[in-house]
Amino acid sequence: MWFYEHSDGPSVDGVISVTPTVVERLLEITGPIDLTEQYGLVIDSNNFWQTVQVISEQTNLAKTNPAAVANLPAPVAGKPKKIIGDLLAKILEVLPTKLNKDNLLKIMTIFEENMAEKQILLYFTDPVAQAEVAGNNWGGEIKDTPKDYLLVVNTNIAGQKSDRLISENITVNSAVSTDGTIINTVEIKRTHNGVKREILTGVRNVDWLRVYVPVGSELLFAGGFQPPDPKYLTDRPDATMESDPLLKEENAAAIDPESGTKIYRENGKTVFANWAMVDPGQTTTIILKYRLPFNFLTTPVNDSWLKRLSNWLNSEANELISYSLLVQKQPGAKPSTFSARLTLPDNLKIFWRYPENLSGLHGWEINDHLNADKYWSILTTKK
């Protein structure tokens, strides 16, 4: 909202952000959109991404790959992404004409899936409207949770548009010792499925990777990171620039001496941040091992309704001990594959699981698709 208003736009009461993924899926409903008059192009769901990205990057590509932009109209001065706004306007014009019984269901499904995947995010200054957004998990905020938490955030720095061809697999192994200490080992495997020297995607993916975990977590090991050549990291702000207070914690981060990983607090979480790079056709694996800030055995359930339930169902049992994991999906990112294993000591047994199909005899075994925020929980008792 701030940038919009300071870029000669009017003040607004809210923002609806939409990723290219949403546009691609809407083009499957509308069919081809004719932009011949403005751009000499017809855009459909198959050529949308490549065409729009090439036009948006036309000025840069003209220097490095003139052949790629030889047949395109001259870019609009100062507005390289104007085509996106023009295309959306046309889609909104055509979409109502496509409404019928079958397409209405498809459109509803597209919006429902994209809201869950955080390909569409909403924000309103009106507190009632924003409360509705937050209640439906449409706002993208980092959430509070009393137990385990994970959010993996990838930020492409000078990697052109290679994120589109990156597939990511996240694995979490949580081991609970007999004294209740919990050690997490997170493995993040990133594979670049591009072909070297392909336009926009056939370059090294340079990623500033941030992993958000429960606040107070202690880093034990970090490996697999690779920083860019130092000559690319020498730019410094000039004397006229002001320091943003939102970056205060990150600028004061501790540095792990062995891996160079930054460790700081943000939005009520501990953050581990470092560089991860992968070339076309290659895979890189990042490993983080850390101790959680709470003890499994000394955090019994104190909710009154759970106490009553426990007394009613299992009056002679030990007090119930809860454990849960909330994994949030990065807004706007492609879904990752996700797996997790929780290993409990032999003196604990599981009393209840959420969801009901959560498997694992001595903890849990999770294999999922991280296309939305995901949550798992158990209640345990001592044998």
In tens, the pLDDT along 354-383 reads: 999 999 888 999 999 999 999 999 999 888
Same-domain pairing of 101 and 153 = no
> Which of 1-10, 46-55, 200-209, 229-238 ranks highest by mean pLDDT?
200-209
Q: What does the alpha-carbon distance between residue 185 and residue 283 come to, in Å, rounded to a whole number?
A: 19
Residue 360 sits in the same domain as residue 229: yes
One domain, residues 197 and 291: yes
Q: What is the DSSP pairing of strand 336-343 with strand 166-176? A: parallel
Query: Is 5 a member of any domain?
Result: no
Mean pLDDT of 172-181: 97
39, part of any domain: yes
Q: Kindly give the pairing relationship between strand 218-223 and strand 374-382.
A: unpaired
CB-CB contact of 73 with 40 (8 Å)? yes
Residue 191 shares a structural domain with residue 330: yes
Mean pLDDT of 39-48: 90
Rounded to whole angstroms, the Cα distance separating 133 from 124 reads: 8
pLDDT at site 223: 97
Residue 9 maps to a domain? no
Convert the pLDDT of each residue in 70-118 to its tens digit. Answer: 666 665 555 667 888 889 899 989 999 988 888 888 899 999 999 999 9
Is the model more confident about 246 or about 122?
Answer: 122
- Is 191 a domain residue? yes
pLDDT band at 300 (very low <50, low <70, confident <90, very high): low
For 32, the domain range is 20-118
CATH of the domain at 377: 2.60.40
Looking at the fold, whether 96 and 44 belong to one and the same domain comes out as yes
Same domain, 95 and 170: no
185 & 59 share domain: no
> What's the one-letter identity of residue 330?
Q
Instruction: Identify the pLDDT of residue 319.
Output: 76
**Is residue 161 located within the same domain as residue 112?**
no
What's the average model confidence in pLDDT over 63-70?
66
The burial class, CB within 10 Å (0-12 / 13-18 / 19+), for 57 is: buried
Q: Quick one: 229 and 355 in the same domain?
A: yes
Which residue from 331, 377, 345 is spatially nearest to 152, judged by alpha carbons?
A: 331
Which tokens hold the place of 108? 């509803």
pLDDT at residue 235 above 80? no
- Please tell me whether residues 237 and 285 are part of one structural domain: yes
157 shares a domain with 114: no
The answer to whether residue 274 is domain-embedded is: yes
Q: Give the whole-angstrom CA distance, residue 171 versus residue 225.
A: 17
pLDDT digits (tens, 9 = 90+) for 216-231: 999 999 999 999 988 7
pLDDT at 74: 62
Model confidence at 65: pLDDT above 80: no
pLDDT of residue 275: 97
Structural domain count, the chain: 2
Segment 189-198 mean pLDDT: 94
Mean pLDDT calculated for residue range 148-177: 95
Q: What is the pLDDT of residue 303?
A: 57
- Whole-structure pTM over 0.85, yes or no? yes
pLDDT surpassing 60 at residue 336: yes
* Within-domain flag for 182: yes
State whether 83 and 154 are in the same domain. Answer: no
- Give the pLDDT of residue 320: 82
Residue 123 lies in a domain: no
